[in-house]
């Protein structure tokens, strides 16, 4: 009887050893988070976008309604700037472009495309006052116009709302384009507070929670946590030595806040960098440098994580306008 028990035990042990998959299934590996899609509006095809993974894989071209201006966050309205000779005016319309109406005052020289507040109630833009570009904000119907800045000798430009409703903008002083002192300031409705000061800022973008800002320098990208002061700087020449004098524009955040994407320009050294003026109806890069044609990198996207190694890939199309979305 003892021998039978011993043999039976050995048989069970051998069966467990020989058939581990059937008896002891392996634990499931954790599912990787979906990185989302970079959505690129295709130049010359207003009703088509290219969806591509942030590593350059899985390119898909899909049909979309033609983009008119800058849609409001609630998806009901759109805003854009129109140019006629030397006159630039701001208009608001239904999201499909119908029922358009001018909302900027006749006595203002508009100098930038408008941007929407998170609640879709206000519009911010740059207009000329006293020879300089100054930040203005108004209701979406043009009422309650307010001049926010009065920066004697400095230009205000590139306004963007933070997710909590505060309004941010850049200022730059005089001097050579690449050496102009620049500040990124935040207006809370009463006072403006500088949060970044550096020799030059090409563009910037806020994380969804408004706690981190990514901004371009000459030849580098910085990602700064405003609460801790921690900053990561990625130098473009470490990716390719030809990028040492390039600047980042059209910076966008990933949906999870873990990375930013951008494209790079090398401004024409003979003409320098000028504030944005807008060449596309309603849409433009935040910075429109006067520049020579740059074949190198013209179709490349750069993805820079808050931690880890930056990557780049060729989108295969001219990069005019793009964002980063969670789903197709």
- In the predicted model, what is the mean pLDDT of the chain? 84
Residue 137 or residue 273, greater confidence: 137
pLDDT confidence of residue 27: 65
Nearest Cα to 51, choosing from 67, 38, 64?
A: 38
Contact status, residue 265 vs residue 246, Cβ threshold 8 Å: yes
First and final CA of the chain: distance in angstroms? Answer: 68
Nearest Cα to 167, choosing from 144, 129, 195?
A: 195
**Residue range 189-195: mean pLDDT, rounded:** 94
pLDDT for 48-68, tens place per residue? 999 999 999 999 999 999 989
pLDDT confidence of residue 192: 94
pLDDT for 258-294, tens place per residue? 999 999 988 754 444 443 333 333 333 333 333 334 4
Per DSSP, the residues of 210-242 read: SSEEEEEETTEEEEEETTT--EEEEEGGGT-GG
Q: How far is CA 141 from CA 77, 79, 90, 103, 145, in A?
A: 11, 11, 11, 6, 10
Per DSSP, the residues of 23-66 read: HSPPPPPPPPPP--EEEEEETT-TTEEEEE-TTS---EEEE-PP
Q: Residue ranges per domain, the chain?
A: 35-66+202-328
């Amino acid at each position: 009887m003892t021998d039978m028990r011993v043999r039976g035990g050995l048989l069970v042990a051998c069966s467990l050893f020989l058939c581990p998959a059937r008896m002891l299934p392996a634990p499931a590996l954790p599912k990787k988070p979906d990185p989302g899609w970079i959505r690129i509006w295709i130049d010359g095809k207003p009703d088509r976008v290219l969806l591509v993974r942030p590593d350059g894989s899985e390119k898909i071209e899909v049909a979309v309604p033609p983009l008119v201006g800058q849609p409001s966050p609630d998806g009901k309205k759109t805003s854009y700037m129109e140019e006629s000779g030397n006159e630039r005016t701001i208009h608001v319309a239904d999201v499909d472009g119908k029922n358009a109406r001018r909302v900027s005052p006749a006595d203002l020289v508009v100098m930038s495309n408008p941007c929407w507040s998170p609640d879709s109630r206000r519009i911010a833009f740059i207009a000329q006052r006293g020879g300089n570009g100054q930040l203005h904000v108004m209701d979406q119907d043009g009422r309650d116009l307010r001049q926010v800045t009065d920066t004697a000798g400095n230009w205000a430009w590139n306004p963007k709302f933070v997710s909590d409703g505060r309004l941010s903008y850049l200022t730059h002083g005089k001097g050579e384009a690449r050496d102009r002192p620049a500040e990124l300031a935040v207006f809370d409705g009463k006072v403006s507070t500088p949060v970044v000061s550096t020799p030059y800022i090409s563009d910037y973008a806020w994380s969804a929670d408004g706690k981190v800002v990514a901004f371009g320098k000459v030849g580098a990208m910085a990602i700064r946590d405003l609460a801790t002061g921690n900053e990561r700087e990625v130098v473009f020449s470490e990716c390719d030595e030809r990028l040492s004098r390039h600047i980042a524009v059209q910076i966008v955040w990933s949906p999870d806040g873990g990375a930013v994407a951008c494209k790079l320009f090398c401004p024409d050294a003979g003409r320098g960098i000028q504030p944005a003026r807008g060449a596309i109806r309603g849409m433009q890069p935040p910075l429109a440098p006067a520049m020579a044609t740059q074949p190198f990198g013209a179709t490349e996207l750069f993805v820079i994580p808050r931690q880890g190694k930056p990557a780049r890939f060729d989108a295969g199309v001219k990069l005019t306008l793009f964002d980063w979305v969670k789903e197709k």
